[in-house]
Structure 1
Amino acid sequence: MRDAVGAVGTVLLLGGRSEIGLAAAERLVRDGARRVVLAARGAGGSAAIGDAAERLRAAGAEHVHPLDFDAARPESHTAVVATAAELVGDLDAVIDAFGVLGDQEAFEDDPAYAAEAAAATYTGHVSVGLAVARRLREQGHGTLVVLSSVAGVRVRRANFVYGSAKAGLDGFAQGLGDALHGTGARVLIVRPGYVPTRMSAHVPAAPFPATAEQVAGAVAEGLRTGAETVWVPRRLRLVFAAMRALPRPLWRRLPR
């Protein structure tokens, strides 16, 4: 439950192995959160989740709970959210951070793999997002933080499978935020540009990069100010306003 000044006390991280998601959870712990659930596939026996839990305890978390969560099993998502609430109480911040970046050439060589990755990056968020929204609506407070991407703002040929999935996620998050308006619960959409992580190691660096810690700072600020959308870095909002206006023949010629 939020304290008297509205600080986050509990965090559910969906995608407990995500470097960006973990950085955001750690920032919220340093800001005062004390109970965290790390939800990921095979979380109970994962060394990576164990290391993440120790990192959060070192930052000040008093209780860190691993929880098994499989994005590909939508029938289990309502139970996952309910279990998280049983473990830590009301969910103040739910960070939705799972997905698959993958490789465009590999996707084109293996359409089944492309569909599986797109489902992890989009459709898994629909079922768990709706389950989270129901819980937050019942609580009358709480924020679902959706890690979107500028890749979904205007989809490029260089990564159109991933970009189209992020475009779907971003649209879903906007609609869900509108549906929650007036309930006390809300959605915060986070649109980072290129962030160097293990997942993006094979991708060439892009202009205006951000670190995981910078994204985490933007999440904390967005929660504090009640923002609906944050861009990381902020200048990307203006950059993509211009990119949206580029004629399609010019857009196609952008470097891969």
Structure 2
Amino acid sequence: MKDAFGTPQSLLILGGTSEIALATARRLIGRRTRTVYLAGRPSPALDAAAEHLRSLGADAHAVPFDALDTASHEEVLGKLFTEGDLDMVLLAFGVLGDQTRDEQEPLSAVHVAQVNYTGAVSASLVCASALRRQGHGSLVVLSSVAGERARRSNFIYGSSKAGLDAFTQGLGDALHGSGVHVMVVRPGFVRTKMTAGLPEAPLATTPEAVAEAIETGLRRHAETVWVPGALRFVMSALRHVPRALFRKLPV
């Protein structure tokens, strides 16, 4: 169960090598989180992440999980819930893709959509059902400001995040009153390995800043978190730019 300050004592991360997710885990372990499951494709990086969290005092476990193998989600994720209640699930997997290549190679674009949307929908529904049965817990989903309005520079990635964002909001409405808290996190450009080499966007942030915002959102029982907060107003304005003008913007 969460403590009186809303800090989860147990955490399941879907996308166990995500820099944002690991920054969040470190922050929560510094409070009261003691059990962490890192679900991801087996790799030395996943094992090293679990070992690092153990060095911080957590009982951390690497769990084989493939976002694309949706047929296995109920078995793999359901088993974790049978081992005890989980206070928080953080869905943090995703791929950025390569817009130029993906436009020319439809199967590459489909891969982005399947990981970011189809895989996330499957995993979210499995975890949401388990959280509903236990009657408490938080499902935190990493979306993106890219999903707020499709831009020509990354509309494939952005559309996958738009779908995930809308799905998560609907899931939160469906779970209202069940004891399950659903929170959408919308970071802007985050300085990670995934974005290395890309031109840095205005209001760029760090995994640690996103982790802090997630912790604050949990404490406040927020439903939507923007990182940094100023992006709420930037994206609100961008959404209302007339399409003819929007096409002329360098985005």
Tell me the TM-score normalised to structure 2 length: 0.97
Q: Does 1:190 align with 2:179?
A: no
Q: Distance in 2 between matches of 1:50 and 1:72?
A: 20
Structure 1: runs of 5+ lacking an equivalent: none
Name segments (4+ residues, structure 1) moved above 4 Å.
none
1:58 alignment counterpart: 55
* Partner residue, 2:45: 48
The corresponding residue for 1:176 is 171
Q: CA RMSD in A?
A: 1.2
In the other structure, the counterpart of 2:27 is: 27
CA contact (8 A) 2:28 2:215 kept: yes
Whether contact under 8 Å (2:5, 2:219) holds in the other structure is: no
Equivalent of residue 220 in structure 1, options 175, 195, 215: 215
> Sequence identity, in percent?
55
Letter in 2 for 1:227: A
Q: Which residue matches 1:72?
A: 68
1:124 aligns with 2:119: yes
Shift of 1:4: 4.7
Structure 2 distance, partners of 1:83, 1:202, is: 39
SS at match of 1:66: strand
1:138 counterpart SS class:
helix
Q: What TM-score results when the alignment is normalised by the length of structure 1?
A: 0.95
Q: Which residue is equivalent to 1:13?
A: 13
Question: Which moves more between the two structures, 51-60 or 105-114?
Answer: 51-60
2: CA distance, partners of 1:36 / 1:25: 8
Cα deviation digits, residues 228-249 of structure 1 (max 9, x gap): 0000000000111111110112
Taking the aligned partners of 2:197 and 2:75, their CA distance within structure 1 comes to: 35
User: Is the 8 Å Cα contact of residues 38 and 60 (structure 2) preserved in structure 1?
Assistant: yes
Structure 1 CA distance for aligned equivalents of residues 4 and 92 of structure 2: 28
* Aligned equivalent of 1:239, options 230, 234, 243: 234
Q: Unmatched 5+ residue regions in structure 2?
A: none
Residue 202 of structure 1, aligned match among 197, 204, 221: 197
